[in-house]
Amino acid sequence: MKLSPFIKPFLLAAVVALANGVFAGDDGVANGPFVLPELPYEKDALAPAIDADTMELHYGRHHKAYVDNLNGKVADFPDLSSTALEDIMANISTYDEVVRNNAGGHYNHSLFWELMAPPASTGEPSPELIYRLDKAFGSVDDFRKAFSDAASKVFGAGWAWLILTEDGSLLITTTANQDNPLMDVVPARGTPLLALDVWEHAYYLQYQNKRADYVERWWDVVNWHAVNERFEAAVAMPATE
């Protein structure tokens, strides 16, 4: 097909703009298959536990960078664009370190936002979850203490998790960097029910070096509705029965 001289410069400009990511704004439009999800609340909605400046930096820059970096790896690993994030995690050992860090970062943060809610609408653990937390940890309070303790003890950057393991038990675990319990490279695997980011970027603006204070306040914004749903879905999966 021969393009008219009038159309050609516009087409060329559009192709170059696409290649340079000009169309990838902050509005969730990505220059690849992975997209920064919309936050389920306003950036100031988790205050005072987590302030708007922290959310702006954490979501708008750190999470966005994981998404952008992951999109940048599709050329090296074309199957990334047709593979569910959970399946990428389950086979993370077949990719390189950059995919591990950025796919992990994208998955972990997408989950983290969903697992928090404004303080007035967090709900509480369901009777079924309370029953299982009591059985596993003694009481819900004991669970909270053990989880906070594990989060406080992560050395350097990482995450604390409550997971349902493949044999159906509840377990508190931690991972380094952007690893998570779905990855085939971590010792304790399972379905994440609750996740806490203890990277300094998650709290340093507001709490400086006082990670324990951040962890304590974070409990005020745990979205128990979401945790309950994840728990119900996880116990219903045949593999975990």
Cβ-based nearer residue to Mn ion, 104 or 190: 104
Least distance (Å) between residue 207 CB and Mn ion: 14
- The distance of closest approach from Cβ of residue 113 to Mn ion in the complex, given in angstroms and rounded to an integer, is 10
**Nearest CA among 164, 198, 194 for reference residue 178:** 198
Q: Which of 160, 183, 197, 228 touches Mn ion (CB under 5 A)?
A: 197
Q: Which of 22-30, 132-140, 164-172, 197-205 is the region at the interface with Mn ion (rule: CB under 5 A)?
A: 197-205
Residue nearest to Mn ion (CB): 197
Name the segment binding Mn ion (CB under 5 A); options: 120-128, 200-208, 222-230, 231-239.
200-208
From 14-22, 39-47, 178-186, 199-207, span contacting Mn ion (CB under 5 A):
199-207
CA-nearest of 15, 161, 182 to 23 is: 15
Contact between residue 150 and residue 160 where contact means Cβ atoms under 8 Å apart? yes
**Which strands, in side-by-side order, build the sheet including 190-197?**
170-176, 158-165, 190-197
214 binds Mn ion (CB under 5 A): no
207 binds Mn ion, rule: CB under 5 A: no
Q: Nearer to Mn ion by C-beta: 133 or 183?
A: 183
The residue among 199 and 207 lying less far from Mn ion, judged by its C-beta, is 199
Q: How many residues bind Mn ion (CB under 5 A)?
A: 3
Least separation in angstroms between CB 69 and Mn ion: 14
Over the Cα atoms of the chain, what is R_g? 20
> Six-digit token pair at 165?
């393991």
Q: Closest separation between CB of residue 15 and Mn ion, Å?
A: 35
CB of 96 to Mn ion, least distance (A): 21
| Helical H segments across the chain, by residue range | 8-19, 52-57, 64-71, 85-90, 97-114, 127-137, 140-153, 204-207, 211-218, 224-236
Nearer of residues 179 and 197 to Mn ion, judged by Cβ: 197
Which residue, among 198, 156, 163, 238, has the nearest Cα to 50 in the 3D structure? 198
Strand partners for 162: 172, 194
Minimum separation from the CB atom of position 97 to Mn ion (A) = 18
- Residue located via tokens 């536990």: 49
Identified binder of Mn ion from the candidate list 199, 203, 218, 231, rule CB under 5 A: 199
Q: Which stretch binds Mn ion (CB under 5 A): 153-161, 172-180, 194-202, 226-234?
A: 194-202
Q: Which residues pair with 161 in a beta bridge?
A: 173, 195
Q: Interior CA angle at 47 toward 106 and 233, to 5°?
A: 45
Of the CA atoms within 13 Å of residue 19, those in its CB half-sphere come to: 6
**Which residues would be at the binding site for Mn ion (CB under 5 A)?**
197, 199, 202
